[in-house]
Amino acid sequence: MNRKSLHSARVLLAVVIGIMLIGAAAFAGQPLQIAHAAAELSLESTTWNVIGLDGTDVNAGPNEFPVGVRACNSGDTATTADLVATFAFTTSNERISLVNDAKQTFPPLDSGDCVEMFYTVRVSRTSAAYGSNRDYTVTVTSGSASVNIGQRLRVEQLQPIGGSSTTDLKGPSAVEVGTSYRWTVTGETPATGYPELAHYLNFCPDIFQIESVSATYSVPASTLGENLWADGCKWDTQGTAGCTNNTSTNYGGTFSYSVDASVIAEGSCTITSMIYDFSSNAFHYNNDYGANEIVVETTAAATEAATETSSAPTATPGGPTATATTAPTQTPRPTNTPFGTPANAPTEVPADQLPETGFRARPSSLLPAAEANLASPVQMRVTIAVIVVLMLGVLLALWSLLMISGVLPREVESNNRVWRGISMLFILSALTLVGMLAINLMRATQVNAPTVPQASAGQREIAMYLPPEIPATHLIVPDLRIDTELTEAPRVGGTWDVSGFYREIAHLDGTAFPGTTGNAVLAGHVHTDLGAGPFYFLRDLQPGNMIIARGEGIEYRYRVEWVKDVEPDSIDVLAPSDVPILTLISCSDWNAASWAYTSRVVVRASFFDRATIN
Rounded CA gap, 524 and 503, in Å? Answer: 8
Q: At how many degrees (to 10) do helices 377-405 and 413-445 cross? A: 160
How many CB atoms lie under 10 A from the CB of residue 59? 9
In tens, the pLDDT along 51-93 reads 999 999 999 999 999 999 999 988 878 888 899 999 999 999 9
- The verdict on residue 121 lying in a domain is yes
Give the helix/strand (H/E) hosting 72. Answer: strand 64-73
Residue 211 — pLDDT band, cuts 50, 70, 90?
Answer: confident
Question: pLDDT value at position 455?
Answer: 30
Instruction: Check whether residue 436 and residue 467 sit in a common domain.
Output: no
Domain residues for the domain of 190 are 162-313
Which whole number is the average pLDDT over 378-400? 79
CATH number of residue 566's parent domain = 2.40.260.10
Q: Which amino acid is at 196?
A: E
CA angle 55, 56, 60 (to 5 degrees): 90
Q: Find residue 527's DSSP bridge partners.
A: 532
Instruction: Check whether residue 140 and residue 199 sit in a common domain.
Output: no
Sign of the torsion formed by the C-alpha atoms of 491, 492, 493 and 494: negative
Answer yes or no: is pLDDT of 4 > 60.
Answer: no
153 vs 572: which has the higher pLDDT: 153
Question: pLDDT value at position 481?
Answer: 85
Question: pLDDT value at position 20?
Answer: 56
pTM of the model: 0.51
Instruction: Check whether residue 95 and residue 145 sit in a common domain.
Output: yes
Total domains in the fold of the chain:
4
Residue 583 — pLDDT band, cuts 50, 70, 90?
Answer: very high
- The verdict on residue 333 lying in a domain is no
Instruction: Check whether residue 112 and residue 19 sit in a common domain.
Output: no
Instruction: Check whether residue 552 and residue 483 sit in a common domain.
Output: yes
Instruction: Check whether residue 168 and residue 152 sit in a common domain.
Output: no
- The verdict on residue 320 lying in a domain is no
Burial label, 366 (beta-carbon count in 10 A; 0-12, 13-18, 19+) = exposed
Residue 463 — pLDDT band, cuts 50, 70, 90?
Answer: very low
Question: pLDDT value at position 584?
Answer: 92
Instruction: Check whether residue 176 and residue 151 sit in a common domain.
Output: no
Instruction: Check whether residue 21 and residue 44 sit in a common domain.
Output: no
Query: Residue 71: helix, strand or coil by DSSP?
Result: strand
Q: Which among 15-24, 209-218, 397-406 has the top mean pLDDT?
A: 209-218
Instruction: Check whether residue 170 and residue 246 sit in a common domain.
Output: yes
Instruction: Check whether residue 480 and residue 554 sit in a common domain.
Output: yes
Rounded CA gap, 409 and 533, in Å? Answer: 56
Tally the C-alpha atoms within 13 A of residue 323's C-alpha that lie toward its C-beta. 17
Which whole number is the average pLDDT over 410-423? 83
Question: pLDDT value at position 375?
Answer: 41
C-alpha radius of gyration, the chain, whole number = 31
- Beta pairing class for 581-591 and 596-612: antiparallel
206 vs 153: which has the higher pLDDT: 153
Q: Can you say how many angstroms the Cα of residue 196 is from the centroid of all Cα atoms in its chain?
A: 27
Question: pLDDT value at position 517?
Answer: 77
Answer yes or no: is pLDDT of 450 > 70.
Answer: no
Instruction: Check whether residue 149 and residue 177 sit in a common domain.
Output: no
Phi, psi torsion values for 3, nearest 5 degrees: -65, -40
Instruction: Check whether residue 260 and residue 122 sit in a common domain.
Output: no
Question: pLDDT value at position 105?
Answer: 92
State what percent of residues in the chain have pLDDT above 90.
Answer: 26
CATH number of residue 81's parent domain = 2.60.40.10
CB 554 within 8 A of CB 469: no
- The verdict on residue 351 lying in a domain is no
